[in-house]
Amino acid sequence: MEFNLKFLTLFLFVTAILAGIIFLLKRPWKSRKRKPDLSGPANDLETAIFLAAANPFQLTDVYSLLIRSRLFVMGSISPDRKIALKHWKVDEKPLIPAFTSVERLREAITHEEHYIEIDTVTFLKSIPGDSDVVLNPNSRFALELKHGEIVKVLEETNHQY
């Protein structure tokens, strides 16, 4: 019995020392990147999205600003200029995240990602036909664009140009 108590005490002591060493080596307060406090809108489009959340009649303003904007999307461009977009699967359907500012992108990612800046019309024309898009996912400035809305936005651009 005395042997087991000494062994248990020694085991706990060594474990505590090892845990302390590992904690100091990792220095979690240094390695963890702090996300900047980017609580306000970064541009007019984000302001319009925020206002449209309370008043859906303002979505036409959002669409108008959207087609004149540039977006940041996770993905890459191949040497032959083909765009490869990163997407998520939600209910077995592709959902493509896009961001209206670098600030919103940085808030959303948890590790380093490749991303490209692209004009909205080119982006919307490059996505697969059955995909939906979510602008600024997990943000106060989020907006989901279903396939039908994407078609509507693209038709709007045909009338403007």
- pLDDT mean over 68-85: 90
Task: Give me the CATH number covering residue 87.
Answer: 3.40.1350.90
Quote the pTM value. Answer: 0.71
pLDDT grade for 29, boundaries at 50, 70 and 90: very low
- The tally of domains found in the chain comes to 2
Q: Could you tell me if 17 and 79 lie in one domain?
A: no
Nearest-angstrom CA–CA distance, 131 and 127:
7
Q: How many CA atoms lie within 13 A of 26 on its CB side?
A: 9
pLDDT grade for 33, boundaries at 50, 70 and 90: very low
Q: Could you tell me if 27 and 65 lie in one domain?
A: no
- pLDDT mean over 8-14: 69
Q: Could you tell me if 55 and 121 lie in one domain?
A: yes
> Are the C-beta atoms of 100 and 65 separated by less than 8 Å?
no
The pLDDT assigned to 126 comes to 87
